[in-house]
């Protein structure tokens, strides 16, 4: 069976309509089973395994042995569905699992993630997506190799892609491990490898084609799972099923409770330190993070690959618009999710006897220490300062915290799993394709046939996935922090050569290579040194951080340097050939078909 045959493409609405109805029916069935006394653990198992089974089935049915469909889904994905797939690819565990938690902990400061991630799609739509599609290549390193006429720019692109995507995929597998550990009742270190099975079945068999159709299915699940709990809470508390209109009332109640609890500084006061005073460092870090996330959004190879799958340049533009809409549905709701979660914790958990705390506290304590309770004053009553909730569990635990039926918890777990798996699929495919296509085929063995190239791609995908799962099992950091690192690395290494390669025809290979090396090198140096060798960094520069900039915004230094170096070196060296300059001119003309030769 082939999922890209004409009858499937022409009936996408009907196919996914039936799928959506089936999933809603499945959720209702589990709700009935819960009321009939089926244990919670069984509900959790059914949600996790049956949803992964659906993804695996799609991957199997979409399996392909054709190079073009493995890399770019046959370039027959309509803009609406490509936008939905991109939304799933984009809304990773960081968006679904951690962003609400970040808003819960940081308040207004957490909006930097919302603004940066969504704002980045403006850059994608204006500067990159349609022109990359018109260029006609398979991957971002492919674009660099053709535009700058050589394997060295291609190799540098692969290095940046690998570092950024690997960091990103580790965070997704970390999220899968949290969900599998909590809802399957297995150790976190084992759970990351269990979740990996669901990732591999889809991406390994069908490549971009299977990943695309699976991501559409995953988006449907994740958006349903994210919206239902917060709509339920909004209706329950204020009688209005539109949480975006009611969470202002929740914030007012939170402020009143914080005054009663003696909170010195509200989490909803932006740019202020613990004493409530405005600080320039806080201000700088806020906007530095927005900047890095915006530019990083426009630089992530697994996202830019999505626009190589559309039938035309026009569809690539339309896909960006649909992507923003589908992402908006979740991002517009995230602040409400954080507000309702905090209100539930303040109202129903703080001030309660520690010995009689609800079961969810103990359950999440067993998952990689995601909840910490310390009876500091020995009175047996839980104070606000005695409870620490990891931001990576806020969204997943909110249904339990609010006392909603357990089936809602299972639904949210399925949504979080869909978000993490969809992004992990795209990332692993981007890594494997870059290594097999851009390194093996383009640089090592240009005569390799299609069968050998697919075998190499699949073997590399498995190897990279296993290494990423092992790294995730060591718990290197929180999900949202690892994702921010990936964005800074991608932004510093790829944004400048991509943008200048399209918009300044004088950009040459020497400039692009120098800019990538300097921008990426400075960012990687700052990130690694401040994270893992802070004492050595302070000894070198006499400060713990340059101008107080946190390492999740390390791209603030590398991005402008990359542009400056590319511009300066390009002016000092020979310009590209006349043919290349004319070619670059042609891809910027509105309309028209793909003008570049597709690289096989």
What is the rounded CA–CA span in Å between residue 432 and residue 440?
Answer: 10
Q: Is the pLDDT of residue 244 over 50?
A: yes
How many other β-carbons are positioned within 10 Å of the β-carbon of residue 7? Answer: 8
Q: With a cut of 50, say whether residue 277 has pLDDT above it.
A: yes
Question: What's the confidence (pLDDT) of residue 351?
Answer: 82
- Is residue 267 scored above 60 in pLDDT? no
Question: Residue range 400-413: average pLDDT?
Answer: 89
Provide the pLDDT for residue 354: 84
Q: Which residues contact 7 (CB under 8 A, 6 or more apart)?
A: none
Q: What Cα–Cα distance (Å) separates residue 586 from each residue in 150, 191, 362, 554, 597?
A: 21, 50, 62, 35, 13
Q: Does domain 6-587 have CATH number 3.40.50.300?
A: no
Report which DSSP code applies to 505.
T
pLDDT digits (tens, 9 = 90+) for 38-63: 988 888 888 888 887 787 777 667 65
Structure tokens at 355: 């010995």
End-to-end CA distance of the chain: 25
342, two tokens:
């905090």
Average pLDDT rounded to a whole number, residues 245-272: 75
pLDDT in tens, 184-194: 778 888 888 88
Q: How many CA atoms lie within 13 A of 286 on its CB side?
A: 18
Tokens 């798996």: give the residue: 421
Q: Residue 482 corresponds to which tokens in the numbers above?
A: 């690892």
The confidence band for 4, taking pLDDT boundaries of 50, 70 and 90, is: very low
Other C-beta atoms within 10 Å of 573: how many? 12
Q: Taking Cα atoms as reference points, which of 137, 426, 69 lies closest to residue 308?
A: 137
Measured CA to CA, the distance from residue 593 to residue 575 in angstroms comes to 27
pLDDT at position 589 is: 72
What's the average model confidence in pLDDT over 231-235?
93
CA-atom Rg of the chain in angstroms? 24
Q: How does pLDDT run across 552-571, given as a tens digit for each residue?
A: 999 999 999 999 999 999 99
Residue 268 confidence (pLDDT): 45
pLDDT confidence of residue 300: 85
Nearest to 220 by CA among 11, 14, 21, 5: 21
How far is Cα 519 from Cα 528, in angstroms, rounded to an integer? 14
pLDDT number for residue 599? 41
Domain coordinates of the chain in residue numbers?
Answer: 6-587
Burial class (CB in 10 A: 0-12, 13-18, 19+), 125: buried
d(CA 465, CA 555): 26
pLDDT at 413 over 60: yes
Mean pLDDT of the chain: 83
Structure tokens at 353: 């006897």
Judged by DSSP in three states, 174 sits in helix
Helix (H, G, I), strand (E, B), or coil: what is residue 388?
strand
Q: Are 483 and 92 in contact (CB under 8 A)?
A: yes
Q: Indicate the range of 107-121, 389-403, 420-434, 505-519 predicted with least confidence.
A: 420-434
Q: Model confidence over 77-130: pLDDT tens digits?
A: 788 888 888 888 778 788 888 888 888 888 878 888 888 988 888 888 888 877
Q: Which residue has the higher pLDDT, 419 or 441?
A: 419
The confidence score (pLDDT) of residue 143 equals 86
The helix/strand count (H/E) of the chain reads as 27, 2
Torsion 8-311-597-306 (CA) sign = negative
Residue range 426-480, pLDDT digits in tens: 788 778 777 877 788 777 888 877 778 778 877 888 888 889 888 988 888 878 8
Q: What's the pLDDT band for 572 if we cut at 50, 70, 90?
A: very high
Average pLDDT over residues 281-287: 89
Say how far apart CA 596 and CA 594 lie, in whole Å. Answer: 6
73 in the Ramachandran plot: left (φ > 0), alpha (ψ -120 to 50) or beta?
Answer: left
Query: What is the pLDDT, as a whole number, of residue 134?
Result: 75
Best-predicted range by mean pLDDT among 125-129, 328-332, 386-390, 509-513?
509-513
Residue 270 has pLDDT above 60, yes or no: no
Average pLDDT (571-586) is 91
Lowest mean pLDDT among 195-204, 259-268, 328-337, 393-402: 259-268
Which letter, b or e, does each residue of 225-258 get, where b requires 16 or more Cβ atoms within 10 Å of its Cβ?
bbbbbbbbbbeebeeeeebeebbeebbeebeebb
Mean of pLDDT values over 517-525: 97
| 19-33, 214-228, 370-384: range with lowest mean pLDDT | 370-384
pLDDT more than 70, % of the chain: 87
**Whole-prediction pTM:** 0.84
CA 365 from centroid of its chain's CA atoms: 26
Whether residue 390 has pLDDT greater than 90: no
Pick the closest to residue 94 from 202, 190, 164, 169 (CA basis): 169
CB proximity list for 492: less than 8 A, separation 6 or greater: 519, 520, 522, 523, 524, 554, 555, 557, 558, 559, 561, 562
Contacts of 523 (CB under 8 A, 6+ apart): 488, 489, 491, 492, 493, 554, 555, 557, 558, 559
Do the strands 387-389 and 371-373 form a parallel or antiparallel pair, or are they unpaired?
antiparallel
Q: How confident is the model at residue 586 (pLDDT cuts 50, 70, 90)?
A: confident
Q: Report pLDDT for 7.
A: 58
pLDDT digits (tens, 9 = 90+) for 135-176: 766 678 888 988 998 889 999 999 999 999 899 889 888 888
C-alpha span between 478 and 82 (Å, rounded): 29
Q: What pLDDT band is residue 183 in, cutting at 50, 70 and 90? A: confident
Instruction: Choose the most confident range, by mean pLDDT, from 270-284, 359-373, 395-409, 487-501.
Output: 487-501
Rounded average pLDDT over 527-553: 93
Contact between residue 297 and residue 486 where contact means Cβ atoms under 8 Å apart: no
Place of tokens 């084992």: 190
Alpha-carbon distance 222 to 416, whole Å?
7
């Amino acid at each position: 069976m082939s999922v890209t045959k004409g009858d499937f493409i022409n009936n996408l609405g009907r196919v996914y309509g039936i799928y959506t109805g089936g999933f809603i029916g499945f959720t209702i069935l589990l709700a009935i089973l819960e009321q009939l006394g089926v244990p919670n653990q069984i509900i959790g198992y059914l949600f996790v395994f049956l949803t992964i089974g659906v993804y695996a089935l799609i991957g199997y049915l979409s399996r392909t042995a054709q190079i073009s469909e493995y890399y770019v889904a046959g370039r027959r994905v309509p803009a609406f569905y490509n936008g939905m797939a991109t939304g799933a690819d984009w809304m990773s565990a960081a968006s679904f699992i951690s962003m609400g938690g970040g808003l819960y902990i940081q308040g207004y400061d957490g909006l930097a993630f919302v603004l940066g991630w969504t704002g980045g799609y403006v850059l994608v739509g204006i500067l990159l997506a349609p022109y990359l599609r018109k260029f006609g290549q398979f991957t971002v390193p492919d674009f660099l190799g053709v535009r700058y006429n050589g394997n060295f720019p291609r190799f540098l692109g692969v290095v940046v892609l690998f570092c950024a995507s690997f960091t990103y995929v580790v965070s997704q597998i970390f999220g899968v491990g949290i969900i599998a550990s909590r809802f399957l009742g297995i150790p976190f270190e084992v759970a990351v490898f269990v979740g990996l099975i669901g990732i591999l079945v889809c991406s390994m068999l069908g490549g971009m084609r299977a990943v695309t159709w699976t991501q559409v299915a995953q988006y449907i699940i994740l958006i349903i799972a994210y919206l239902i709990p917060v709509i339920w809470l909004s209706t329950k508390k204020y009688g209005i099923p539109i949480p975006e209109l009611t969470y202002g009332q929740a914030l007012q109640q939170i402020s009143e409770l914080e005054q009663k609890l003696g909170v010195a500084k509200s989490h909803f006061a932006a740019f202020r330190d613990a004493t409530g005073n405005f600080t320039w460092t806080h201000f700088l870090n806020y906007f530095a993070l927005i900047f890095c996330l915006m530019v990083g959004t426009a630089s992530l190879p697994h996202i830019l690959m999505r626009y190589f799958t559309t039938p035309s340049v026009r569809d690539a533009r339309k896909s960006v618009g649909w992507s923003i809409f589908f992402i908006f549905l979740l991002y517009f709701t995230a602040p409400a999710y954080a507000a309702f979660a905090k209100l539930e914790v303040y109202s129903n958990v703080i001030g309660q006897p520690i010995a009689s705390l609800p079961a969810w506290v103990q359950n999440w304590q067993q998952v990689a220490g995601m909840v910490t309770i310390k009876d500091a004053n020995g009175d047996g009553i839980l104070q606000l300062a005695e409870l620490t909730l990891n931001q990576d569990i806020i969204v997943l635990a909110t249904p339990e915290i609010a006392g909603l039926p357990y089936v809602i918890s299972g639904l949210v777990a399925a949504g979080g799993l869909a978000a993490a798996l969809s992004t992990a699929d795209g990332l692993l495919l981007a890594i494997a394709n870059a290594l097999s296509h851009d390194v093996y085929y383009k640089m090592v063995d240009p005569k390799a046939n299609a069968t050998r190239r697919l075998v190499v791609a699949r073997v590399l995908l498995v190897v990279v996935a296993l290494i990423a799962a092992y790294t995730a099992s060591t718990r290197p950091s929180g999900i949202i922090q690892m994702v921010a690192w990936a964005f800074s690395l991608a932004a510093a290494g790829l944004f400048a050569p991509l943008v200048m390669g399209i918009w300044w025809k004088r950009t040459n290979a020497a400039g692009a290579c120098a800019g990538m090396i300097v921008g990426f090198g400075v960012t990687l140096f700052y990130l690694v040194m401040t994270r893992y060798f802070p004492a050595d960094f302070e000894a070198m520069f006499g400060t713990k951080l340059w101008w107080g900039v946190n390492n999740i915004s390390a791209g603030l230094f590398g991005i402008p340097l990359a542009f400056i170096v590319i511009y300066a070196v390009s002016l000092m060296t020979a310009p590209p050939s006349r043919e290349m300059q004319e070619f670059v001119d042609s891809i910027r003309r509105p309309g028209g078909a793909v003008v570049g030769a597709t690289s096989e």
